[in-house]
Amino acid sequence: MSDPDCLFCKIVAGEIPAEVVLRGDRVVAFRDIDPKAPTHVLVIPVEHLPDAAAVAADDPALVGELIAAAAGIAAESGDAGGGYRMVFNTGADAGQSVHHAHLHVLAGRSMTWPPG
């Protein structure tokens, strides 16, 4: 099921262009248009689910597919050895701006905390 008003559903449907790096039956991944790291890819379920908690409640196996896709993307980009970050923002207070579940894959620079 998709949401006709959802930006990411429109990307899945091909209505909005994106640099897609992976397309499967249940998962799509594309480069973030405002990257926060040299590698910044969003991994999303094809089905419209509003956030990570909804994915976990609706289809726990899909969470594993999203994470496996993220690991594959990091490996293919050459970032797996040095490390990479996977982030789900869930809800507006956590910084989620598009309410279609998405996993950020960030790599290509140091992600240590605190920065510096």
Residues that are catalytic:
102
- Write phi, then psi, for 70 (nearest 5 degrees): -60, -45
Neighbours of 69 (CB within 10 A): 22
